[in-house]
Chain A
Amino acid sequence: MIKFKLNGKIVETDAPATARLLDILRDELDLIGTKEGCGEGECGACSVFVNNLLQNSCLIPIGSIAGADVQTIEGILETDQFKILDECYSIAGGVQCGYCIPGMIMASAALLTKNPHPSEEDIRDGISGNLCRCTGYNMIVEAIHLAARKGDGIWQRK
């Protein structure tokens, strides 16, 4: 039995230790905000936080996160950081089909938490592991710039 913290609550699973965190989230715990894209760590659609670090849940065997603190897109919905990103992605037109967006939001939040005033280059590096086939990225970059400005002061980790 493997135990870890998920969005603030302790969860347990008896899945094999090599099972992917992504599958546990979606199939066992019904948290379907985290998406599967490539399944090989190249597209970022499955991004989550493990101990506050952005990681690809398709590459995480659950055996390696016993005792860890995992947050998914569902776990950050009520935060001020999410609300700012939500608003800014809407204003900038950063969402089209939406499939990449949970991962993009996680990558955006990870970037801004580490670097609240990113340059355009920092932003492009911050989302470099996330593929979007609709927007051409410019609107997403704009959304993150906007979130840095509008959310000035909320990104520093306490």
Chain B
Amino acid sequence: MAEKITAYRFDRLDQTLNQLNSEDCAIMAGGTDVMVLHKSRRGVPPKIPKPVVFIDHLPELKQVYRNHKDLHIGACCTYGELLEHPLIPIALKNAIQTIAAPAIRNRGTLGGNICNASPAGDTLPLLYIYNAKLQLHSVSGIRTVAISDFIQGPRRVNRLQNELVTEIILPAVLDDESHVIFEKVGNRNADAIAKVSFAGLIRVSKGHIDDIRFAFGAVGPTMVRSSQLESLLLGKTLPLTQTDITQVVTAFDKIINPIDDHRSTAFYRKKVALNLLHYFLSLKHDQPNQ
């Protein structure tokens, strides 16, 4: 006899928010993490301990639009939908194209990747360097929070029981001429969970670094980014000198604390992360993203 499972799938966002306000529920977007996390044996439905609320069909969570230079992305847009959307910057598309594989890209959502808050979440280093903000809806209204304040640790996010992440906002990303790189190191190019991931962004104006940001995934409980170290490089000319590069790489060596696990070792992760940073800082960044 199958166990009874309560599940809701409302037509509208307001009904969904009412439900979240009245009961502690598990939220299901694409399901690519939740279904694996609660997997049972073959033939037995995943054991999810709370009532389930499906959200990935809600039209309010599927929109992509611009507001001045900010890009708003509905939390339930799949990677596949973002790859097809004309407003998504090419650098972000290039990065998404390297994530997972076609079948997962057709189900996995940006909001789901954020709320799953894996230390190795594929899109997270990118969202950190884009200074992404999240819009949360509840029956009491809307609030906006920076992604670095939202993600608090492995699978721990700053979301109240009655709140739903509805939009990801990338501030001033449209018309921006920054150069962005994204690297993911794993056992396999497709699908595998990252051993180390890296995203870097740089904008050069009249030969000088106008803006530079970089973030690492899978080398700590959350993404690692340091505005303080980034600011050391502002105003410098490219290519950077070995002294400048070494100074930043050495400083980063002290702030990343990867662990040993079944996917990789702390030693390997640190070595690769620092190599990626060295590589990023050594690039001339004279080719636009295409």
Residues of chain A whose beta carbon lies under 8 Å from any beta carbon of chain B: 15-20, 23, 27, 36, 39-42, 44, 47, 50, 53-56, 58-61, 63-64, 66, 107, 110-111, 125-126, 128-130
Would you mind naming 30 contact pairs between A and B with Cβ atoms under 8 Å apart? A17-B9, A18-B28, A19-B45, A20-B45, A23-B42, A23-B44, A23-B45, A36-B42, A41-B104, A44-B101, A50-B106, A53-B80, A55-B103, A56-B103, A56-B107, A58-B35, A59-B32, A59-B36, A59-B104, A60-B35, A64-B9, A64-B31, A64-B57, A66-B9, A125-B101, A125-B190, A126-B102, A128-B191, A129-B100, A129-B101
Q: Are B101 and A64 in contact (CB under 8 A)?
A: no
Q: Are B107 and A60 in contact (CB under 8 A)?
A: yes
Residues of chain B whose beta carbon lies under 8 Å from any beta carbon of chain A: 2-5, 7, 9, 28, 30-32, 35-36, 38-39, 42-46, 48, 52, 54, 56-57, 80, 97, 100-104, 106-107, 189-192
A41 to B200, CA, bound (A): 29
Contact with B39, one of A39, A56, A110, A125 (Cβ below 8 angstroms): A39
| Distance of A136 from chain B, by nearest CB (Å) | 15
Given contacts A41-B103, A58-B35, 17 further A-B contacts (CB under 8 A): A15-B2, A18-B28, A18-B38, A18-B52, A19-B45, A20-B35, A40-B39, A41-B35, A41-B191, A50-B106, A54-B106, A60-B107, A61-B28, A64-B9, A64-B31, A128-B190, A129-B100
Q: Are B3 and A16 in contact (CB under 8 A)?
A: yes
**Chain A residue contacts of B5, Cβ below 8 A:** 16-18
Residue of A nearest to B97 (CB): A125
A128 to B28, CA, bound (A): 25
Tell me what chain A mostly uses at the interface: helix, strand, loop, or mixed.
mixed
**Chain B residue contacts of A129, Cβ below 8 A:** 100-104, 190-191
A130 to B188, CA, bound (A): 12
**Chain A residue contacts of B192, Cβ below 8 A:** 42
**Chain B residue contacts of A61, Cβ below 8 A:** 28, 31, 35, 45-46, 52, 54
Residue of A nearest to B44 (CB): A23
A66 to B56, CA, bound (A): 12
Residue of B nearest to A16 (CB): B5
The 9 A-B pairs with the shortest beta carbon distances in the complex, nearest first, are A129-B101, A128-B190, A17-B7, A16-B5, A19-B45, A53-B106, A128-B101, A18-B45, A54-B103
A78 to B104, CA, bound (A): 27
A63 to B9, CA, bound (A): 8
A53 to B36, CA, bound (A): 20
**Chain A residue contacts of B103, Cβ below 8 A:** 41, 44, 47, 54-56, 107, 129
Known: A55-B106, A58-B35. A64 touches B54 (CB 8 A): yes
**Chain A residue contacts of B54, Cβ below 8 A:** 17, 61, 63-64
Interface hub of B32, B56, B192 (most chain A Cβ within 10 A): B32
Q: Are B31 and A59 in contact (CB under 8 A)?
A: yes
Known: A15-B2, A17-B54, A18-B46. A60 touches B31 (CB 8 A): yes
Interface hub of B7, B39, B97 (most chain A Cβ within 10 A): B7
**Chain B residue contacts of A55, Cβ below 8 A:** 103, 106-107
Residue of B nearest to A23 (CB): B43
**Chain B residue contacts of A19, Cβ below 8 A:** 45
**Chain B residue contacts of A53, Cβ below 8 A:** 80, 106
| Distance of B44 from chain A, by nearest CB (Å) | 8
**Chain B residue contacts of A66, Cβ below 8 A:** 9
A56 to B36, CA, bound (A): 12
A66 to B10, CA, bound (A): 12
A63 to B104, CA, bound (A): 18
Residue of B nearest to A51 (CB): B106
